[in-house]
Amino acid sequence: MASVKFASGENIPLEMHKVRIVQKLFLPPVEARLKAVTEAGNNTFLLRNRDVFMDMLTDSGVNAMSDQQLAAMMVADDAYAGSATYERLEAKLQEIFGLKYVLPAHQGRACENILAQVLVTPGTIVPMNYHFTTTKAHIVLNGGSVEELITEEGLAVTSDQPFKGDMDIAKLEALIAAHGADKIAFVRMEAGTNLIGGQPISLDNLTEIRRVCDQNGLILVLDASLLADNLYFIKVRDPNCRDLSIAEITRRIADLCDIIYFSARKLGCARGGGICIRDEALYRRMRGLVPLYEGFLTYGGMSIREIEALTVGLDETMDEDMISQGPLFIAYMVDELVKRGVPVITPAGGLGCHIDVLRFLDHVPQAQYPAGALASALYIASGVRGMERGSLSEQRNPDGSEVYSNMELLRLAMPRRVFTLSQVKYAVDRIDWLYKNRSLVGGLVFVEEPEILRFFYGRLAPVGDWQEKLVAKFRADFGDSL
């Protein structure tokens, strides 16, 4: 997005693209929304998309694609082995990251499976700025454990710290001193730190981590799934990078890493994933797992058309106009909510707008999953589907007790270039209404709780009849409006 000033003085993110393919949406009436969310066990993952007006569940695999990406899909070279399409992807990744070896995978967690199987052994530790659900699951499955070393500021809900995803270097050094470098499987940094609100990491922090890794002979792995947002934030928030191009910033980051992996459902606005590796020996150790779990080395479980789209998408990620759209729309939404007093994570990050549910629903105990309850309430109030990112997304301790997460968040993802500003205004309006009526919202209890990754398909019921009361209040306030 270019910086275009409005005569009115209003701060409006102006799209540097036009919409040429559209999908019709439906907004069911509030009574039908209550019925749909009840049938879905109050779990927004289980809603049918046709009952959803704005799908803000995730940005994963649902970003808008460009005309150039769609055109490239038509010239894909379909072959089990040796496809020219794959060669184009490999060359593009080598060009932007400068790492010699590339392995394809069907999505981000598939990369994590391969990395964990090769690098994690029982009893080892993976220090990271913050965990992601699938990352942690794979590390634990291989007998390792995760240590989150985010700076204290990273967990402060409201802040003006520009790089809340940074790792606390002193904590990293203390961890290595306490356990010994041989107990560290690798050090992982996540760009655009997902679970703390899409918060970026800084180039300076990564440089420091590289220094510590070099001193201790450790491998530095970057999860670049949310790199696009992070690149934009480095460009606009780090004064030392203001005059660098996005491609130059990307290269400075990559030069510090031994391994870069990503979900192409996010990075590159396509579907799939990949691992880029500097060291040949490491590459050889990982390579054998690709045909076993993914597919042959020149498609890795991805459709060849998606690989073409990804190659173009990665190239377009080097364009500031393209990668700024998400962060600027999110900043608009966050600013509008802050103006109305709604508690949200600040500063605005990438990925989406994150509501601070511990403050929004301060009367609902964590044992009753307030972020899940708010996700259900917001769907009833608006047809907007968000994602619970709080205690419900955690895994119980082996003794069955709950793990209460540091933050209870309702994530409203902003898939890139998908929504219009009036749709974002609608979401803000309904969240504002819900905030004013927050005392009506109650908690949830599990009626069906899976053992692993329970948030994906667990079913819950409301505590009491708060949902019917919410619907009645909606009708009283909005009349016959949808």
Paired tokens of 269: 């606005």
CB burial of residue 206 (10 Å; 0-12, 13-18, 19+) = buried
Binding ligand F0G (rule: CB under 6 A), the pick from 28, 35, 38, 60 is 60
Q: How many residues bind ligand F0G (CB under 6 A)?
A: 16
Binding ligand F0G (rule: CB under 6 A), the pick from 42, 44, 58, 113 is 58
Q: 192 near 267, Cβ under 8 Å?
A: no
Report whether the peptide linkage leading into residue 200 is cis, meaning its omega lies within 30 degrees of zero.
Answer: no
The CA distances from residue 317 to 82, 101, 245, 256, 269, in Å, are 26, 21, 12, 20, 9
Q: Does 346 bind ligand F0G (CB under 6 A)?
A: no
Instruction: State the Cα–Cα distance between residues 480 and 482, nearest whole angstrom.
Output: 7
Instruction: State the Cα–Cα distance between residues 293 and 90, nearest whole angstrom.
Output: 20
Choice between 132 and 332, CB closer to ligand F0G: 132
Catalytic residue among 5, 26, 67, 80: 80
Distance, CA of 51 to chain centre:
23
Binding ligand F0G (rule: CB under 6 A), the pick from 144, 273, 347, 390 is 273
- Based on the residue annotation, tell me whether 134 is a catalytic residue of this protein: no
Q: Does 194 bind ligand F0G (CB under 6 A)?
A: yes
Choice between 271 and 441, CB closer to ligand F0G: 271
**CB-hemisphere CA count at 13 Å for 475?**
12
Amino acid at 353: C
- Based on the residue annotation, tell me whether 296 is a catalytic residue of this protein: no
- Based on the residue annotation, tell me whether 132 is a catalytic residue of this protein: yes
Pairing of strands 145-148, 125-128: parallel
Choice between 210 and 265, CB closer to ligand F0G: 265
Closest distance between ligand F0G and the C-beta of residue 238, in Å? 21
Catalytic residue among 389, 411, 430, 454: 389
Q: Does 134 bind ligand F0G (CB under 6 A)?
A: yes
The CA distances from residue 161 to 202, 213, 270, 336, 345, in Å, are 11, 25, 31, 20, 12
Closest distance between ligand F0G and the C-beta of residue 375, in Å? 13
Q: Does 223 bind ligand F0G (CB under 6 A)?
A: yes
Amino acid at 165: G
Catalytic residue among 188, 265, 266, 454: 266
Catalytic residue among 51, 223, 258, 356: 223
- Based on the residue annotation, tell me whether 100 is a catalytic residue of this protein: no
The DSSP letter of residue 223 is E
Q: Does 443 bind ligand F0G (CB under 6 A)?
A: no
Instruction: State the Cα–Cα distance between residues 418 and 403, nearest whole angstrom.
Output: 35
- Based on the residue annotation, tell me whether 223 is a catalytic residue of this protein: yes
Choice between 29 and 61, CB closer to ligand F0G: 61
Paired tokens of 116: 């964990």
Q: How much helix, strand and coil, in percent to the nearest 5, is found in the chain? A: 45, 15, 40
Region from 201-209, 220-228, 325-333, 429-437 binding ligand F0G, contact rule CB under 6 A: 220-228
- Based on the residue annotation, tell me whether 279 is a catalytic residue of this protein: no
Choice between 457 and 478, CB closer to ligand F0G: 457
Catalytic residue among 38, 133, 237, 429: 133
Choice between 92 and 411, CB closer to ligand F0G: 411
Nearest to 97 by CA among 271, 314, 360, 288: 314
Q: Which positions touch ligand F0G (CB under 6 A)?
A: 58, 60, 107-109, 132, 134-135, 190, 194, 223, 225-226, 263, 265, 273
Active site positions, annotated: 80, 132-133, 223, 266, 389, 455
